[in-house]
Amino acid sequence: MIIGEIKRHLRDNNSLRISRSLRDIAYKVLNTKEFLAKKYSREPTIQEIADATNFKKQDIIQAIKAMQEPISLFEPVYYENTDDVFLMDQISDEKDNTDDWVDNICINQGLKKISDREKLILKLRFFNGKTQTEVANEIGISQAQISRLEKNALKNIKKHIQ
């Protein structure tokens, strides 16, 4: 009963939620790893652990990674005098560029200030990648008119976002 309470406490008070089955695999893997390290007097390979536990190598790797303590993005990974390099400085997310959201808000605000016709032209030109001639043919006006409307629309957007 005491062991059960200790396990429950460790399971429920962890900083990350890990499934019970994955946690059980991790504990078995760690115990087997320790046993094999004593037996072979060296660090066992993943394959040796897999053979001893009958778990797939992928499940073992996933379980071991799940049990690692998380670290802060603001954890220093390099020190040089007063200039620390943090973990956050070493990773990037191409899908979520923090500068893009500000630009998107500004552009959306600017788009609210132009006519529907100008919005259509900008959408076709910059989001659909069409040329001024293609846009002109689609809308039914001259390329010169598209050029003027596009230039005015961009000028109005710039005026409203500055």
Separation between Cα atoms, residue 156 and residue 108, nearest integer Å? 12
CATH number for the 98-161 domain, one of 1.10.150.120, 3.30.460.10, 1.10.10.10, 2.40.50.140? 1.10.10.10
* 98-161 and 17-66 share a CATH fold: yes
d(CA 121, CA 108) in angstroms, rounded, equals: 15
- What is the Rg, in whole angstroms, of the alpha carbon atoms belonging to the chain? 29
Please say whether the structural domain 17-66 has been given the CATH code 1.10.10.10: yes
Domain chopping of the chain, boundaries: 17-66, 98-161
CA distance 11 to 4: 10
What is the pTM (predicted TM-score) of this model?
0.41
Tokens of 89: 């400085």
What three-state secondary structure class fits 78?
A: strand
CB 157 within 8 A of CB 113: yes
pLDDT digits (tens, 9 = 90+) for 107-132: 888 888 889 999 999 999 988 888 99
Model pLDDT, residue 82: 67
